[in-house]
Amino acid sequence: MSGVNDELGLGRAECRQFDLDLSAYLEGEERPGVHRHARACASCSVLLADLELIRSQSREVLLEDPPARVWANVRATLAAEGIFRGRPVGWLRWLPQSGLMRYAAPLSAVACLTLIATILMLPPAPAPAGGPAATVNTGLEQTVKEMEMNYHEQEKFLDPAVQASYQKGLKSLDDSIRECSASVSQEPTNTLAREYLDTAYQQKVAVLSAALEYDGR
Partner 1 sequence: MGDSLFSYEEKDTKVLKGAAQPNEGKKSLVKWGALSLLLVPLVMGRAAGLLRQEKTFETTANPHIGLTNFIGHVVVKGWERQQVHAVYGTTSPQIAVDIDQLPPNGSAEKIHFTTRLTGPQAAGVDKTVFYTLDVPMGASLEIRNGEGRVDIEKLQGDASVDSSGGIISVGDVVGHVVANSVAGDIEIIRSRGRVEAVSICGNLHFVSPTGSFLKAHTTSGKIVYEGDFVTAGEYAFKSYNGDIDLFVPPTASFELNKRTAKGKFVSEIPSSRPPHPLPGAHTFLGSNVSSTAAVQLSSFSGNIHIHRQP
Smallest gap from residue 166 Cβ to partner 1 (A): 6
Give dist(CA 177, CA 108) in Å, integer: 32
- Residue 142 vs 165, nearer CB to partner 1: 165
Question: Would you say 39 or 168 has its CB closer to partner 1?
Answer: 168
Q: Are 191 and 55 in contact (CB under 8 A)?
A: no
What is the DSSP-derived secondary structure letter of residue 15? Answer: H
Cβ proximity of 180 and 196 under 8 Å: yes
Using the minimum distance from each CB to partner 1, give the nearer residue, 81 or 215: 215
Q: Backbone phi, then psi, for 41, in 5-degree steps?
A: -115, 120
34 near partner 1, rule: CB under 8 A: no
Q: What is the number of alpha carbons within 13 Å of residue 3 lying toward its C-beta?
A: 0
Nearer to partner 1, 38 or 197 (CB): 197
Q: How far is the CB of 144 from partner 1 (least distance, A)?
A: 15
Q: How far is CA 75 from CA 113, 144, 148, 201, 207, in A?
A: 30, 10, 13, 14, 15
Distance CA 147, CA 71 (A): 10
Pick left, alpha or beta for residue 99 (phi over 0 → left; psi -120 to 50 → alpha; otherwise beta).
left
Q: Residue 100 and residue 35: Cα distance in Å, rounded?
A: 57
> Which residue among 193, 202, 209, 212 contacts partner 1 (CB under 8 A)?
193
Asked if 77 interacts with partner 1 (CB under 8 A), we say no
Site string for partner 1, 153-182 (x = CB under 8 A): ----x-x-xx-xxx-xx--xx-xx--xx--
By CB under 8 A, residue 210 contacts partner 1? yes
Q: Does 144 bind partner 1 (CB under 8 A)?
A: no
Residue 192 within binding range of partner 1, rule CB under 8 A = yes
Task: Return the number of the residue (48 or 170) whose C-beta is nearest partner 1.
Answer: 170
Residues that bind partner 1 (CB under 8 A): 157, 159, 161-162, 164-166, 168-169, 172-173, 175-176, 179-180, 183, 190, 192-193, 196, 200, 203, 207, 210-211, 214-217
